[in-house]
Structure 1
Amino acid sequence: FFNPLDVVRKNYWHRDMQYSHIPDEQQQQLHHQLTSLHVRIPLVDETGIELIPHSHKQWDSELERNVRFAMNGQEQHNDLPHSQLISLKQGDVLVFNAQMIHRGRYDFNAARLALDICMGTAHPLIDGFRDRTVQPTAQELTQIENRQ
């Protein structure tokens, strides 16, 4: 991840799945069935992530929903209560559930550069996001001793 080219774009709260084709009501129903781990390794020091603790365990409050979707006079960049701003040093590792409400804070960093790895549990509704060209073949899977 890096700072956006659009320097006017403000930081926006989201759950990663909100950018999928899956309706929000259905995402809410599936919320506890999905694990979406996001591993972030900053390549430079940064104050680059802000999140709402425990929001992967519960669905949005009315305010959180209004902010995420810019409804009822709210904007996606408005501050949310109970948020936690995370500062990381080069080489630190942050692991969080991408179903948490979070936002990138590129406004605090002249440069933001990180290696981000996202992985999660398989589910039929999100299967279309997988790139099968980079996954092991059936034959390769038989050669893996610990196939959890």
Structure 2
Amino acid sequence: MMSSSARDRMDAFRAHGFFVVRAFLDDAERAALRRACDVALVDARARSVETGHSTPRISLLTDGATCFQDDPRALERIAGFVGSGRVCELLSGLSRPGEEDTPRLKDAHYYHEQTRRDWDGDWHRDSQFGQPDPEVERAVVATTTAVHFRVALEDDDRLEIVPGSHARWDTPDELRIRRGADRATPDMQDAARLALRAGDACVFHAWSIHRATYRRAPLRRTIDALYAFARPAVRQWPSPAA
């Protein structure tokens, strides 16, 4: 039987494309996870004049072999967290009919304050990446599911999202902004800012219209994992020989 809190989360996700779980991590859990993620950030900043300095995030899994070579236990902690039953429980039931209910981890990133400049991010749906044709992208939005799970390891109010946009296609103004020349405008209609306190978790649909603002201060430390729900594979059996 589904608990009321699980039902509330699912209802919020269906209606708005996101939900927040307050105090998902206690102080000790949060500090331990931040120490593990900071191993990668310190390494990235030491090895590159760009990554970790002019960029707002680093990959924790794609570059894990390099970033954690001196501390593999830190990578084990991160991988164990983003693959844990506790996290997957929050994602249960978020897939579309016809998709598998088991989420597949795509990558995990660590968002941090860059050291060189401030800027406002572009409004986007993750579905647009690699999809130059809006009509192809529209089909992706209408038929598939991908979600971000993130936890603020320090207070983080950088994410902005258009509630409900995961469940529909763009208005003319939204499409003009998202695929036009003014992608960083502050004038996205109906956008809401999600303020997370340290330890809070947020799950949001990757196809939602969203963006972040990037600042050198205050310090930012947020882990974000991306999951997708695949459609069940249909096995094709060979025809018997005549």
For the aligned pair, the TM-score class normalised by the smaller chain equals: 0.7 to 0.9
Q: Superposed, which structure 2 residues align to 1:47-86 within 5 Å?
A: 47-71=157-181, 75-78=182-185, 79-86=187-194
Q: 2:225 corresponds to which residue?
A: 117
Match of 1:39 among 140, 149, 161: 149
Task: Please give the alpha-carbon distance, in whole angstroms, between the structure 2 residues aligned to 1:101 and 1:4.
Answer: 23
Question: 2:117 aligned with 1:7, yes or no?
Answer: yes
Point out 4+ residue stretches in structure 1 off by more than 3 angstroms: 3-6
TM alignment of 1:20-35, pairs within 5 A: 20-21=130-131, 23-35=133-145
The amino acid of 2:194's aligned partner reads: I
For residue 122 of structure 1, report the CA deviation from its aligned partner: 2.1
Moved more, 83-92 or 7-16: 7-16
In the alignment, which residue of structure 1 is the partner of 2:108?
none
User: How far has the Cα of 1:8 moved from its partner?
Assistant: 4.9
Equivalent residue number for residue 105 of structure 1 = 213
Higher alpha-carbon Rg? 2
**Where does the alignment leave 5 or more consecutive residues of structure 2 unmatched?**
1-110, 232-242
1:20 positional shift: 2.0
Equivalent position amino acid for 2:145 in 1: T
TM-score (norm 1): 0.72
Counterparts of 2:135 and 2:115 in 1: how far apart (Å)? 32
Q: What one-letter code is carried by the residue in structure 2 that aligns with 1:105?
A: T
Contact 1:51/1:84 (8 A) holds in 2: yes
How large is the Cα RMSD of the aligned pairs? 2.0
Q: Which amino acid aligns with 1:120?
A: A
> Any conservation in 2 of the 1:12–1:77 contact (CA below 8 Å)?
yes
Q: In the alignment, residue 77 of structure 1 is paired with which amino acid?
A: A
Counting matched residue pairs gives 120
CA contact (8 A) 1:47 1:109 kept: no
- Whichever structure has more helix as a proportion of its residues is 2
CA distance in 2, matches of 1:25, 1:6: 37
Deviations 1:88-142 (A, max 9, x none): 011100001010000012249522221101101226xxxxxxxxxxxxxxxxxxx
Inter-partner Cα distance in structure 2 for 1:6 and 1:62: 35
Bigger drift between 47-56 and 8-17 goes to 8-17
Distance (whole Å) between structure 1 residues aligned to residue 163 and residue 208 of structure 2: 7
- Please state how far the C-alpha of 1:81 moved relative to its aligned partner: 1.1
Letter in 1 for 2:200: D
2:125–2:209 CA contact under 8 A, matched in 1: yes
Residue 23 and residue 121 in structure 1: after superposition, are their counterparts in 2 closer, same or farther (change >3 A)? farther
Relative to structure 1, the CA distance from residue 60 to residue 108 in structure 2 (aligned partners, 3 Å threshold; closer, same or farther) is farther
